[in-house]
Structures are given as structure tokens and as C-alpha cells.
Amino acid sequence: MQANGYFSFVTIFAKRRKTRQIQSAIVASVMPLNFNGRTMIQTTLPNTSNDSSGSNTFSLYLKANSIAINSSDAVTHYQCSKNNGYEVNDSQLNFCLEVEAEGNQSKCAIDGLSTFGSVADLNHNTLLDDLESEFKAQSFFFDSKSIVYKGISSDKPYYNKFTPSACSVGDIIDIYTFFSTTVSKERAKNYGSVLLKIQGLDKVNCIIPPITTIPGSGELTDEQEVLINRGFKAKVLSVNSYEIHLQLEQA
């Protein structure tokens, strides 16, 4: 009994020491650089896939790198964690942005007409302006090794360009919408049958919304979200029947 207790104590102590060493290494490597409201984070985002304590891992990373969570009305409304009185939601806003860029005769406009109606009838500019103000006030970009994930659902016509049948290796895709992503592959899969694996977060501006549970998001709790600003390009690196690997590029 004493031996077992001793080895249990040693194991716990070793694990705690390793955790402290990892946290210290993260803190020591942080040298955030600010460029007119854009903060460069010179460390890699954690991958919390298959991590039962992923929310805590993500929270520790944010704290260690002095990354502020954005809890503004515009961001939490877009995230769907709160209803802050805007006239459109995230889907309606992204539909408007895609149709404005591609035209009223685009596939998105036609496919989304029965669900969203006409862009002219959707007052999306207030939410758009407020989101853009938040990105201008403070946003982050991460090192080139960082990877995030996004689940694509077939009921979002503004994402129909991200079906495996529509993508080929080497394609350059224009993205006009905001992009909600996560550092957890499991959480991304919860939102659609096609998974986007995304790198190139050194090329775009990001905001970190609150780590919270989104109503209707299924069994998985605590979003570990990275919200990417609109207006960038993505190069298709690989594609199969259920996953598309993208490299983000500046527009």
C-alpha cells in the first residue's frame, strides 16, 4: 500500500511539474507585437482535438499570450451566444455579403432565395459595421503553423463553394463572409458533414469570442472559437470526400 501510494504521489507530482514547465515555456516564448490594432501572436494555436480539457487548454493559451476575449454585442450576436437586437443573424449577414459580391444571379442568391429572401429586404449593415469596428479596434494574427477547423453545412448557400465536388487542388477561392472556426476538430464536425482544415492564420485578422456553449450546437459544450474577418482568399491544398485543406491568403 505504501509503495503504491508513493508511486501515485510521484506520478501526480511529475505530471504537475510537466504542466508547469509547459505553461512556463509558453509564457517565456510570448512576444506579442502590435501593428495599428493588429497584434501578432508568435506562438502556435493549440489543437484541442481529442482533448477532454480542451476549453481549459485554450483558456490557458489565451491567458499566457495576453489575448483578450471579445464580448462585444456585435461579436456575441454573430456568435449566436446572445441576441443583442440586431435585425439579422450570422447566416443572414453572410448571405448578404456573398450575394453582394457575386451578384443577384449567382448560385448563392438563387439557392438561398427561399430561405433568406432578397438582400434588399435584409438590414445587415449595422451588424456589419459594428463587426468591422471590432476588428479594427483589436484583432490578432497567429504564426503560420496554427491550424483551425470549420464544419460546412449544406443548408448554407454561401458555403456551396466548399463542397468536395466543387473544389480541386490548386483552386483559389474568394471568401467574402466572416469565418467562424475552432481549434477543436470535434466541434467543427458538429456543424457539418464537410470539414475544412485551415492554415495561414498569419495572413488574416482574427477575434476570439467568448468560450461558451452555443444554443443548438449539440452535445459539445464550450466553443473554442477563432473568428476570421471577411475578405481573403483560400488555396485548396488537398481535397477528399469529407475534408478540404485550405491555405489562407490575403485578398
DSSP letter string, 35-97:
ETTEEEE-SPPP--TT-TTHHHHHHHHHHHTTPPP---HHHHHHHTS---S-SS-HHHHHHHH
Residue 2 lies in a domain: no
Mean pLDDT of 109-116: 96
Residue 242 lies in a domain: yes
- Tens of pLDDT, residues 129-188: 999 999 999 999 999 999 999 999 989 999 999 999 999 999 999 999 999 999 999 989
Mean pLDDT of 111-119: 95
Residue 26 lies in a domain: no
Residue 202 lies in a domain: yes
Confidence of residue 78 (pLDDT cuts 50, 70, 90): very high
Residue 8 lies in a domain: no
Read off the C-alpha cell for 236: 485548396
Residue 18 lies in a domain: no
- Tens of pLDDT, residues 44-77: 999 998 888 899 999 999 999 999 999 999 999 9
Number of structural domains in the chain: 1
Can you tell me whether residue 230 is helix, strand or coil? coil
User: CATH no. for residue 145?
Assistant: 3.90.176
Q: Which residue, among 175, 190, 184, 188, has the nearest Cα to 228 in the 3D structure?
A: 175
Residue 27 has pLDDT above 50, yes or no: no
pLDDT at 219: 56
Q: Which residue range forms the structural domain that includes residue 208?
A: 32-250
Q: Which residue, among 56, 81, 93, has the nearest Cα to 177 in the 3D structure?
A: 93
pLDDT at 10: 45
pLDDT at 191: 87
Residue 94 has pLDDT above 60, yes or no: yes
**Could you give the CA distance from residue 225 to residue 228 in angstroms, rounded to a whole number?**
10
Give the sign of the dihedral formed by CA 235, CA 237, CA 243, CA 248: negative
Residue the block writes with cell 445587415: 124
Residue 210 lies in a domain: yes
